[in-house]
Chain A
């Protein structure tokens, strides 16, 4: 069984379009995250939700909007896609919030969604 899954795996679209990426985890975790990995392979956090509440909202254009319908799902909607949005987007989950001195904050990543904006 896949612990953290994402759809789609690949997404190719034109500039200006709106697209969504979906993430689901079956680990029973309370916290979910979105990361962006750029062409230089640098991994940077974008958002984090804990029990459906937004906890982390990094300096991300407001064209990016996360939504957590329940603890097991965290979706990412991107409006007006730009060339610079091309990257791999990873979803992750942890049992609890990162920062606590505990194994509860160990994060497990989904397979990623490779977004290409033409």
Chain B
């Protein structure tokens, strides 16, 4: 059974600092791994999707890496801004989607 863990559960950083969010999964038989952000009480916004054959994906200030052998994915957010404050979820797609518990990020001005 796939288990997805995100550490830390919460993170607070000053504006401008780089963010590093970790996601680990127990079953490496995944099709892809996707990162989302969720704002309080709202739905999920897709940030990056990494196919199982890929090692990383980049979009603007965001970069996500995938290491299937170690069961890890890392989301990097460069030069954080207060608008980056949200909960970030990683989702492993195997036979079904398995969600991590999320990392709640607060970027202080």
Same complex for A and B? Answer no
- Identify the B interface with A (CB < 8 A): none
